[in-house]
Amino acid sequence: MDILESLRGRLVVSCQAAETSPLHATQHIVALARAAVQGGAHGVRIEGVRNVEAVRQAVEVPIIGITKIAQTGSDVYITPTLDDVRSIAAVGADIVAFDATSRTRPVPVAEIAREIARLDKISMADISTLEEARQAIAAGANLVGTTLSGYTPYTVDAPAPDFALMSALAAENIPFVAEGRIWEPGEALRALEIGARFVVIGSAITRPDEITRRFADAIAGAAR
């Protein structure tokens, strides 16, 4: 079946761990991906060449692959260069996601989208505003993700999750994925009702440190 069709209306789980996390090693990312699939995820979002390669051997669902590479002179870090695109595509990502914000960037969005298409992969442009989404689609991206709303200097005050952005994307028939700062099943459902192709959840499922902190903070607040 067509990959985007297989994900329509479904849950994708982002399995990522910060360098400081006890879950950073590839074996843990693989375990998170397996657990996500066991729990009903229809796809996974994975960072890093080694991790994508290992997860590709472990699960059969589609993989959204990214790299996170810091760039000199730019805040763009999600799959920022053509080499990143090539290396993540080569190890088995089905969809390659990349930063498509209008910040200073090493490679134009159109070049990244063109390279992903040349490699016969699906391109997912991570954006933070409606205007960035319009430009990414015009530049050839297959779909956009709301991933970076709240993370660019001009969206730091955007609501979490950013349902207003989702509604604006739906109103213009821009194919979009709901991703970023979704913590409740009801929020995921609302995103799908607005028109998201599928939903990507990360921290609320795969970052036990953040999940723990949420409970710990609530309990500490109540004890005060």
Ligand X SMILES: CC(=O)N[C@H](C=O)[C@@H](O)[C@H](O)[C@H](O)COP(=O)(O)O
Q: How far is the CB of 81 from ligand X (least distance, A)?
A: 16
Count residues near ligand X (CB under 6 A). Answer: 15
Side chain identity at residue 118, one-letter code: R
Taking CB under 6 A as the criterion, the residue among 51, 179, 196, 197 binding ligand X is 179
Near ligand X by CB under 6 A, which window of 29-37, 86-94, 169-177, 179-187? Answer: 179-187
Measure the N-to-C terminal CA separation of the chain; round to a whole number of Å. 54
Spatial CB neighbours of 121, under 8 Å, sequence gap ≥ 6: 89, 93, 94, 95, 96
Region of residue 130 (left: phi > 0; alpha: psi -120 to 50; beta: else): alpha
Beta strand pairing status for 43-47 and 11-15? parallel
Stretch that binds ligand X, among 48-56, 100-108, 175-183, 184-192 (CB under 6 A): 175-183
Binding of residue 80 to ligand X (CB under 6 A):
no
Whole-number minimum distance, CB 182 to ligand X, in Å?
A: 6
Q: Residue with structure tokens 């998170």?
A: 32
Residue selected from 91, 96, 178, 201 as contacting ligand X according to rule CB under 6 A: 201
Q: Which residues share a beta bridge with 144?
A: 125, 176
Does the protein bind ligand X through residue 180 (CB under 6 A)? yes
Give the span between the Cα atoms of 59 and 207, in whole angstroms.
20
Q: Which residue is nearest to ligand X (CB)?
A: 202
| Member of 37, 181, 188, 197 binding ligand X (CB under 6 A) | 181
Does the footprint of ligand X cover residue 66 (CB under 6 A)?
Answer: yes
The DSSP element (H or E) to which 12 belongs, if any, is: strand 11-15
Radius of gyration of the chain (CA): 17
- How far apart are CB 66 and ligand X at their closest, in Å? 6
- Residue from 109, 177, 182, 199 binding ligand X (CB under 6 A): 182
**Segment 145 to 174, residues that bind ligand X, using CB under 6 A:** 147-148, 151
Could you give the CA distance from residue 151 to residue 127 in angstroms, rounded to a whole number? 10
Q: Which of 14, 79, 87, 129 binds ligand X (CB under 6 A)?
A: 14
How far apart are alpha carbons 148 and 75 in whole angstroms? 12
Chain contacts with ligand X (rule: CB under 6 A): 14, 16, 66, 147-148, 151, 179-182, 200-204
